Amino acid sequence: MEKIIEFFFPPRCAFCGRLGKSPCDNCKKNIKFISGNTCQKCGIPIGDTTLLFCPSCLRENFAFERVFPVFYYEGVVRRGVHLFKYRGFYQNAITFSRLMAKKIIEAGINADIITFVPTSYERFLQRGFNHSSLLAKNIGKILKIPTVDLLARVGFTKPFYNLSRQERQKEIKGKIELKKGYENIIKDKRVILVDDIFTTGATANECSKVLLKNGAKCVFVSVLAITKLTR
């Protein structure tokens, strides 16, 4: 896929869209990677503390093991994601997935299968494809782990933009299913679930619950960016 993308799309900076290397020198200066002491659940920096979790994760009961975010969803990262999701800059998947895979490798995570958060049929029709699947397939190639399309949306879900944490949890509950016939494939497997942005974690949590309920051993969540707000 990478070869095809590189053939059709000239190299551009994944953060500002300028032709040339990715990230370009200008964006490189403004990119802040998440590092240091991080929450053992959602992966955000928690500074100098003896606590293992951020305040938000202390009150949550997420089903997944841990999130591995590369960036905060802000500044040049936000712009790059916007280009990727809404402006047709598919080649951004190459830069983004490399960074996401690097994060998984650095954390020493061993997994058996990679999958991704399913997009709703309506949004799939609007945008033409699932961005998370593109990231997942590329990460799978880098990590040499099979990427399998395991999950499906059922019914209609309202867009999440203006919903609170509780509203999102309620809205997504029961709307994710394991595709038929995949129980044997995930049984006792360590799964990496890929999504682009982690906001409240409602969707990633629901997907994880479905995977675990159907026999997966554990779920790790790989995301490009995590929001600072609303959690």
Give the binding site for Zn ion (CB under 5 A): 13, 15-16, 24, 27, 39, 41-42, 54, 57
Say how many CA atoms lie within 13 Å of 69 toward its Cβ. 27
Whole-number Å distance between alpha carbons of 219 and 207 = 9
**Cβ 76 to Zn ion, closest distance in Å?**
7
> Between residues 21 and 187, which has the closer beta carbon with respect to Zn ion?
21
Task: Locate all alpha helices (DSSP H) within the chain, ordered by sequence.
Answer: 2-8, 25-30, 55-59, 75-86, 92-106, 121-127, 131-143, 165-172, 183-186, 202-213
Query: In terms of CB distance, is 16 or 212 closer to Zn ion?
Result: 16
Contact 117, 79 (CB under 8 A): no
**Alpha carbon distance 15, 193 (integer Å):** 23
Cα–Cα distance measured from residue 9 to residue 108, given in angstroms and rounded to the nearest whole number: 33
Decide whether 44 or 151 has the Cβ nearer to Zn ion: 44
**103 contacts 70 by C-beta, under 8 angstroms:** yes
Nearest one of 72, 119, 91 to 13, comparing CA atoms = 91
Minimum Å gap between C-beta 26 and Zn ion is 5
| CB closer to Zn ion out of 16 and 34 | 16
Residue 231 C-beta: closest distance to Zn ion, Å: 8
Least CB distance from residue 29 to Zn ion, whole Å? Answer: 10
Q: Which is nearer to Zn ion, 6 or 183 (CB)?
A: 6
Q: Please state the closest distance from residue 55 (CB atom) to Zn ion, in A.
A: 8
- Nearest approach in angstroms of CB 170 to Zn ion is 21
Please provide residue 131's backbone torsions phi and psi, each rounded to the nearest 5 degrees: -60, -35
Q: Max CA-CA distance within the chain?
A: 49
73 vs 182, beta carbon nearer Zn ion = 73
